[in-house]
Amino acid sequence: MSQSFVPVPANSDFPLENLPYAVFSTENNKVHRICVAIGEHVLDLKAVSQLYPFQVQKSLQAETLNELMGLDFEAWDVVRSQTQKLLTKGSELDHNVDLKAVSIVPQSEIKLHLPAQIGDYTDFYSSIHHATNVGIMFRGPDNALMPNWRHLPVGYHGRASSVVVSGTPIRRPLGQTFPDGAEKPVFGACKLLDFELEMAFFIGGKGNQLGEPIRVDDAWKNVFGFTLMNDWSARDIQKWEYVPLGPFTAKNLGTTISPWVVPTAALKPFLLDNFPQEPEVLPYLRQNIPFNFDINLEVSLKPADQNEALISKSNFKHLYWTPLQQIAHHTVTGCNLRPGDLMASGTISGETPDSYGSLLELCWKGTKTLELPGGKTRKFLQDFDEVIIRGHCEKHGLRIGFGECVGQVLPAHPVPQ
């Protein structure tokens, strides 16, 4: 890969090989624009859109990524290739001093927004280690996985309106719970608030018409790119409400995503074999191409007025069900997907306790205590705690990062009288 004329510090998340997309504005220009990250700067794609082929220019002038997502994978490759060329030393952009001055913007001077208008949001349950851990806690080791779990990607439809960009505070929810030993439900602030370490991908391409499934080996054409996610969870509310239809208010309080969307093409050097599946899945889910990635994930917890502490290290490769299988199952009924739809992995946990992707697991349903620096402890999140999720791939000196996914817990509203 050639060298960028924009400086890229060592160990940066955003080298020329990455170029994650985001939507930003500045103090002197409140209009939302599309950009890519390069080192500690961004390239304003609207400002340089005239340097791209005509058929993609309009999508680069939009205020969200939806229009670009709605093009096909060949158009995404055209945009990515041209962006890399423009950012290379000696390029047309490098020689245009005036255009460089307005199109290359320090990240310290921008405000980042949700990257897309999210029409629909689906959350899967794709980590076998997480599903097994939760099953053991609530049903015992002999019935840890439900009978359907190894046969289909379990999921549910989430609430798109409460998906927020990194940095947005999350209010502790109010709700109904049924505490142990109680005779009837009570109403009040959630006491068992948790994070969930997840990744998500945005749907792109032309989508599919209502009634037309997407074949599993064609589904890659519909994966625009990946982002970090924290799907906040109110465990005590969920325990009381989830039977028989699954989580509802316990999950709609907020879902945080990183502002950066790493294109699938940037992850190709980190492809792995898919997670082994036993028993063999039904034909519509049999995937013949690899679509698993070696993405290192970590979670840090920062109590108020304290330094952050690393509490979990996991990896995307632990997912049993791939994004392509998720798309194939989601659409097998003929459900139509649209550009900008968000699909989440579910909590990503590894095999060892230090790789668990939630406090529910790290503290094993509140029976263990998480020790933090300075003598602080946690079993679940407290007010003003900040959760920071990071992710990156690294191989042969190449690092592709996802930035950060950050959210702070605010106190609940007063209980209505």
Q: Tell me the pLDDT tens digit for each residue of 52-90.
A: 999 999 999 999 999 999 999 999 999 999 999 999 999
pLDDT tier for residue 1 given thresholds of 50, 70 and 90: low
Q: Which residues pair with 197 in a beta bridge?
A: 230
Q: Tell how strand 296-302 and strand 197-203 pair up.
A: unpaired
Q: What is the CATH number of the domain that holds 396?
A: 3.90.850.10
Q: Residue 318, SS3?
A: helix
Q: Count the alpha carbons within 13 Å of 337 in the hemisphere toward its beta carbon.
A: 32
What token pair was written down for 81? 């290739």
Token pair, residue 336, equals: 């139509």
pLDDT for the residue numbered 224 = 98
Domain housing 369 = 121-410
Examine the domain organization and report whether 104 and 142 are in the same domain: no
Residue 190 and residue 380: Cα distance in Å, rounded? Answer: 10
User: In whole angstroms, what is the distance from residue 262 CA to residue 401 CA?
Assistant: 8
Same domain, 384 and 341: yes
In a domain, 37, yes or no: yes
Please check the confidence at residue 2 and state whether its pLDDT lies above 80: no
| Domain final residue, candidates 113, 139, 174 | 113
pLDDT of residue 112: 98
Residues 309, 234: one domain? yes
Q: Output the pLDDT for position 207.
A: 84
126 and 108 in a common domain = no
Mean pLDDT, residues 333-345 taken together: 98
Q: Is 298 annotated as a binding residue?
A: no
Residues counted in the chain: 417
Same domain, 89 and 209: no
Q: What share of the chain is helix, strand, coil (3-state, %, to 5)?
A: 25, 30, 45
Give the separation between CA 203 and CA 311, rounded to whole angstroms: 31
Pure H helices in 229-284:
235-241
Structure confidence by residue, pLDDT tens digits, 107-163 = 999 999 999 999 999 999 999 999 999 999 999 999 999 999 999 999 999 999 999
Q: Is 231 annotated as a binding residue?
A: yes
Of 32, 95, 113, 130, the catalytic one is 130
- In a domain, residue 329? The reply is yes
Q: What is the pLDDT of residues 289-308, one digit of tens each?
A: 999 999 999 999 999 989 99
CA proximity to 344, closest of 243, 226, 252, 261: 226
> Would you say residue 417 has pLDDT above 80?
no
**What does 340-406 look like in DSSP terms, one character per residue?**
T-EEE------SSGGG-SSHHHHTTTTTS-EE-GGG-EESS--TT-EEEEEEEEEETTEEEEEEEEE
Same domain, residue pair 165 and 263: yes
Query: How far apart, in Å, are the Cα atoms of 38 and each of 20, 70, 105, 106, 396?
Result: 8, 24, 10, 10, 20
Last residue of a domain, one of 113, 138, 160: 113
Pairing of strands 223-231, 255-257: antiparallel
**Per the domain annotation, does 281 fall within a domain?**
yes
Residue 286 per-residue DSSP state: -
Query: From CA 69, how far away is CA 75, in angstroms rounded?
Result: 9
Residues 137 and 51 in one domain: no
Give catalytic status of residue 130 as yes or no.
Answer: yes
The region that residue 374 occupies, defined by phi over 0 for left and psi between -120 and 50 for alpha, beta otherwise, is left
Specify if 312 maps to a domain: yes
> Structure pTM?
0.97
Same domain for 90 and 125, yes or no, is no
Q: Which CATH number does the domain housing residue 32 bear? A: 2.30.30.230
227: helix, strand or coil: strand
Last residue in a domain, options 87, 113, 139: 113
258 in a structural domain: yes
Residues 291 and 379 in one domain: yes
Residue range 163-206, pLDDT digits in tens: 999 999 999 999 999 999 999 999 999 999 999 999 999 999 98
347 labelled binding-site residue = yes
Instruction: Clarify whether residues 72 and 159 are in a common domain.
Output: no
Q: What is the pLDDT of residue 147?
A: 96
Q: What is the pLDDT of residue 415?
A: 82
Q: Say what percent of the chain tops pLDDT 90.
A: 96
Has 255 been labeled as part of a binding site? yes
Q: Does 199 lie in the same domain as 109?
A: no
pLDDT score of 206: 86
Q: Report pLDDT for 245.
A: 87
Given a cut of 70, whether residue 369 has pLDDT beyond it is yes
- CA 165 to each of CA 109, 113, 123, 178, 200: distance values in angstroms, whole numbers, following the listed order: 17, 6, 17, 32, 13
Q: Token pair for residue 318? A: 């632990």
In a domain, residue 10? The reply is no
Same domain, 129 and 92: no
- For residue 7, being part of any structural domain is answered with no
> Structurally, how many domains does the chain consist of?
2
Residue 114 per-residue DSSP state = -
Check the annotation: does 177 bind a ligand: no
Q: Which two tokens mark 290?
A: 């690899």
